Amino acid sequence: MEPGEPQEPQEPREPGPGAETAAAQVWEEAKIFYDNLAPKKKPKSPKPQNAVTIAVSSRALFRMDEEQRIYTEQGVEEYVRYQLEHENEPFSPGPAFPFVKALEAVNRRLRELYPDSEDVFDIVLMTNNHAQVGVRLINSINHYDLFIERFCMTGGNSPICYLKAYHTNLYLSADAEKVREAIDEGIAAATIFSPSRDVVVSQSQLRVAFDGDAVLFSDESERIVKAHGLDRFFEHEKAHENKPLAQGPLKGFLEALGRLQKKFYSKGLRLECPIRTYLVTARSAASSGARALKTLRSWGLETDEALFLAGAPKGPLLEKIRPHIFFDDQMFHVAGAQEMGTVAAHVPYGVAQTPRRTAPAKQAPAAQ
């Protein structure tokens, strides 16, 4: 062909072997790349009245020891300044952190089985922190990939008045006074404590352990022990074996856990249920255990395991269970659980909370 002459059109070539496969691979790699650039899609928050709402304070969810020291020693202005200067540094996990992660693991399973249901755990960060601290809290939550969309920051005022508006099923705080306020308002609440040492807990199953009297049940029986001693208590429990105990402050939370468990049971997952509950009580099975179990039965509730210790320490058993949280009304048992690496929460309810009063000094008789 001479230069300048028009070229004859050529037949299009068929793609060589493997060309389609290579193109598909390039497309898949590009899709993965852009998917990673896009923000992760989070589930929609449920309506509060449909969910099991867990309100957690910032000092329960995260470790804020240094910040609390600054607040106590130097005041609120220095505290806020420090938080602003460090707002890109995530807080370290606090005692409630493993519990919250376990709640989220249960939620993932529930959403797989019931995509349209709002009957899941909803976590609310409930704190009296100033709103200026909110950025650091948000950054910390995003750092750990927690799904906490609802915040209540009250700028120094007590957040307790908001708990009912959030339909709170359980309130956890490091502030004992606020917990007492919540209990007085009829809300299930506990003061949470860090364990003395770290223990590995389940990443796939939420484990919650409860004391019985003054936690799930009323303090009726504890009052008899304190007033009349153990022998009278055993007689009373035997005589009233078929009379259910009145409910305690955390009965409603156990009820909520039971409701979610039944959603797994209905799918044939009783043995693989990602929620497991425990009754860990100082009661003796033979002399007073029947009334406790019959009370739960009368409420239409149960625990997966019931451990009657007849006064023995609870810590060693809790070390075997490794719950994400253990609730008790007596600080003696809370301290014992802490020593064994259990995250324990004190429920300030019942006769055990009554301060001991010393007998008044005898006065000399008045002159006649």
d(CA 101, CA 94): 12
Residue 213 DSSP code: B
Structure tokens at 328: 């008790």
Which of these is catalytic: 211, 213, 219, 329? 211
Backbone angles phi, psi at 94, to 5 degrees: -100, -170
Instruction: Please name which of 162, 171, 128 lies closest in space to residue 348, comparing C-alpha atoms.
Output: 171
d(CA 279, CA 1): 95
Q: Which amino acid does the sequence have at 255?
A: E
Structure tokens at 195: 């364990």
**Is 145 designated active site?**
no
Please report the beta strands in 220-324, taking only residues with DSSP state E, as ranges in sequence order.
275-281, 305-308
SS (H, E, C) 87-148: CCCCCEECCCHHHHHHHHHHHHHHHHHCCCCCCCEEEEEEECCCHHHHHHHHHHHHHCCCCC
Sequence-distant (6+) residues with CB within 8 A of 3 are none
Instruction: Please name which of 323, 306, 168, 175 lies closest in space to residue 249, comparing C-alpha atoms.
Output: 168
Residues 111-121 as b/e (b if ≥16 CB within 10 A, e otherwise) read eeeeeeeeebb
Q: Are 281 and 308 in contact (CB under 8 A)?
A: yes
- Please name every residue paired with 277 in a beta bridge, in sequence order, or none if there are none: 208
* Active-site annotation, residues: 211
